[in-house]
Structure 1
Amino acid sequence: MLSIGEFARMAGVSVRMLRHYDRLGILVPARVDAHTGYRSYSASQLPRANQLVALKDLGFSLEQVGAMLGDGLTAGRVEALLAARRDELRAQVAQDTVRISRIEAKLRLIERGPIMSEYTEIPLPAVALVGLTAGVASIEEIEGDIGPMFDRVNGAVDAASANRVGPGVATYEVEGEGMRVVVGEQVGDAPVPAGLQRIDVAAADRAVTTRLEAPDLSGIQAAWQGLMGEVERRGLRPAGAGREVYLQTPFDGPDASGWVIDLQQPVS
C-alpha cells in the first residue's frame, strides 16, 4: 500500500486534491485507518488517477470526470480524447501565431509611419493565366487561402509538366461586400492543367505601381496602403483588379531568398 503522500507523488497531484477527490467519490482510498483516519492507496489505482488527471487537463469538470470514470472509461477512449484535445490546441496555437504576426506587422507599421516608396504610372498588359478563383468575405480569408491556392496551382502545373513563361500573378477585385481573388501561373499556349481554368486578366491603359522587396510578406498590407494613398494623392481612383506579380519568391530554388513583388493598381 502507498501512503497518501506517496500516491500523490506517483500520480502527479497534490495531497489536498487527493482528499478533494475522495470527498467527491471520484478517487477514494483503498483503505482508511479506522483509528487515525490515514488514507492508503493501492498502486493499482494509479491508472484511474492518470485518467482523472488527463480528463481534467482536457477541460472536463470534476463532475463530468466522475461520470465518465463511472461509466468505465477505457484507456483507448482517454487516449482518443487526449489526441483530439492536442489537435485542437495545435490549431489554436497556429491561429494565435497568425494573429501575433498580424499584430507585429501592425506595430511595425505604426512605428515606421508612412512608407516612402517609389511609384510609377504605366500601362499594364493583358495576362493569360491558368489558375483558380475564389470569393472571399474579408482580408483574413485571403491571407489564409492564397498560399494553399498557389500550392494547388503550382502542383497542377508541375504535374502537367507545363513550362512557365512568366511570374505568378494574383489579382484582387471588390465584389459587393466581398472580394474576388484570382491566383495563377503563366504557361503560354500550353493546355490547361487538370483542375485549373484559363483566366484572362484584361489590359489596363493606366496603373500606379510600386515594388515590394522584403524577406517576408508582413509588410505587404502597408505597401498596398501606401500605393492606394499615392493613387489618391494623384487625384485618381482605382479602376479594376489590383495585381500582385511575384517576380521572386523564397520557393524559386535553393538560392532564392525573400520576395520581390510588383503591386499594380489600374486607375482612372
Structure 2
Amino acid sequence: MYTIGEFAALGRVSVRMLRHYDAIGLLQPARVDDRTGYRHYSAAQLGTLVRIVELREIGCGLDEIGAVISAPDEHAVLREVLVRRRVELEASIEADRSRIERIAERLRRLEGEGTMSEVEYRSLEAATVYAVEGRAPGMGPENVGPMIDPLLGRLIGAIEGAGRSPIEPGVFWYEAVPDSEELAVHVSFTADTPAQPADGYEVVSLPAVETAAVLEHRGDMPSIGGSWMALMGQIAEDGYRIVGPTREVYVHAPDDRPQSEWVTELIAPVEKG
C-alpha cells in the first residue's frame, strides 16, 4: 500500500488532485484509515492513475476518462476516445493555421505587401448558373472549406453526366440559414445559353446588382478570410450596408496551378445607409 503522498509522487500528480479524483469518484483509495482518515492506494491502482494522467495530458475530460476506466471493455472505449480526440485536435490545428494565415495577411497589409486590391464599387449583370447546395456548420474557412471539394465533385459530375462541360468562372455564394447557425453554401458554374436543366443540379438565376463592393483576392484559400474581413471593414467605413448574399467568383483558379496564383473576386451587394 502507498500513502497518498507516495502515490502522488509515483503518478506525478499533486495530493490535491488525488483528493479531487476521490471526491468525484474517478479514483478512490483502496483503503481509508477509520481512525486517521488517511488514504492508502494499492500498487494495482498505479496503472489506473497512469492512464488518467496520460488522457488528461492529451486534453480528455474527466467524464471521458471515467467512462474509459470504468468500461467493461476498456480497450474499445479507449480507442473510441482517442480517435475522437485526434479528430478534435486536427480540427483545432486547422483552425489555428487559418488564424496564423490571417495574422500573416494582416502583417503583409500593414507592410504594403498584401494579397488584396482596393475595394471597387460597381454594378453586376444578371447571370444564370448551374448550382448545388450544401450546409456548413457555421461561418469561417474552417467550416466552409471542407464543404467545397465534395460540392464541386457533385456539380461537375452532374454537368458532365448531362453531356456538357463546366463553364468558368466558378461562382460560390453564401446565405445564412434562418433560425440556425448553419450557412448555406452554393457552388456553381456558368450555365449554357440557353440553360439546360438536368438531374443533379439546379438552374439558378442570379439577379443583377445595382451596387456591389468588390475586392480582388490573390492567393490561396486559407488566407481568404482575411480578405473578407478587410472587405467587410471597408464597406462599413464607406457607409454602406450589405443587402444580399455574398459571392466569390473564381476568375483564375486552374487546377494545375498552385492556389498562390489564384485570383478570386469577393463580392457583396450593398446600398448606402
Same fold (TM over 0.5): yes
Cα shift at 1:155: 0.6
Cα shift at 1:169: 1.0
Measure, in 2, the Cα distance between the counterparts of 1:200 and 1:265.
17
Cα shift at 1:47: 4.2
Measure, in 2, the Cα distance between the counterparts of 1:120 and 1:230.
11
Q: Which residue of 2 aligns with 1:79?
A: 78
Q: How many aligned positions are there?
A: 245
Q: Which residue of 1 aligns with 2:127?
A: 127
Measure, in 1, the Cα distance between the counterparts of 2:73 and 2:242.
62
- Secondary structure at the aligned position of 2:165 is classed as coil
Measure, in 2, the Cα distance between the counterparts of 1:255 and 1:245.
17
Query: In the alignment, is the contact (CA less than 8 A) between 2:214 and 2:265 conserved in 1?
Result: yes
Query: In the alignment, is the contact (CA less than 8 A) between 1:242 and 1:263 conserved in 2?
Result: yes
- TM-score for both structures, normalised by structure 1: 0.59
**CA pair 171-16 structure 1, distance change in 2 beyond 3 A:** closer
2:151 is the alignment partner of 1:153: yes
2:198 is the alignment partner of 1:183: no
> For the pair shown, which has the larger CA radius of gyration, 1 or 2?
1
**CA pair 223-108 structure 1, distance change in 2 beyond 3 A:** farther
**Which AA in structure 1 matches 2:231?**
A
Q: How does 1:1-268 map to 2 (within 5 A)?
A: 13=12, 26=28, 47-54=47-54, 58-60=60-62, 73-77=72-76, 79-80=78-79, 82-83=81-82, 86-87=85-86, 89-90=88-89, 93-94=92-93, 97=96, 100-101=99-100, 104=103, 108=107, 111=110, 117=118, 119=120, 121=122, 123-133=123-133, 141=139, 143-160=141-158, 161=160, 162-172=164-174, 182-188=186-192, 189=195, 191-192=197-198, 194=200, 196-204=201-209, 207-215=212-220, 216-217=223-224, 218-227=226-235, 229-230=237-238, 232=240, 240-249=244-253, 252-266=255-269
**Which AA in structure 2 matches 1:202?**
P
Query: In the alignment, is the contact (CA less than 8 A) between 2:117 and 2:215 conserved in 1?
Result: no
Query: In the alignment, is the contact (CA less than 8 A) between 2:134 and 2:151 conserved in 1?
Result: no
Query: In the alignment, is the contact (CA less than 8 A) between 2:126 and 2:207 conserved in 1?
Result: yes
Measure, in 1, the Cα distance between the counterparts of 2:17 and 2:215.
66
Query: In the alignment, is the contact (CA less than 8 A) between 1:146 and 1:183 conserved in 2?
Result: no
Cα shift at 1:83: 1.7
**CA pair 193-50 structure 1, distance change in 2 beyond 3 A:** farther
**Which AA in structure 2 matches 1:119?**
E
Cα shift at 1:110: 9.2
- Secondary structure at the aligned position of 2:173 is classed as strand
**Identity, % of aligned positions:** 20
Cα shift at 1:191: 4.6
Cα shift at 1:154: 1.1
Q: Deviations over 1:206-246 (max 9, x none)?
A: 545442223431222203433564575xxxx7665443211
Query: In the alignment, is the contact (CA less than 8 A) between 1:149 and 1:183 conserved in 2?
Result: no
Measure, in 2, the Cα distance between the counterparts of 1:175 and 1:79.
37
Query: In the alignment, is the contact (CA less than 8 A) between 2:117 and 2:217 conserved in 1?
Result: no
Measure, in 1, the Cα distance between the counterparts of 2:257 and 2:270.
37
Query: In the alignment, is the contact (CA less than 8 A) between 1:133 and 1:180 conserved in 2?
Result: yes
- Secondary structure at the aligned position of 1:253 is classed as coil
Gaps of 5+ in 2: 32-39
**Which AA in structure 2 matches 1:125?**
E
- TM-score for both structures, normalised by structure 2: 0.58
Q: Deviations over 1:105-124 (max 9, x none)?
A: 796599579x8716353x42
Measure, in 1, the Cα distance between the counterparts of 2:243 and 2:15.
69
Cα shift at 1:103: 6.9
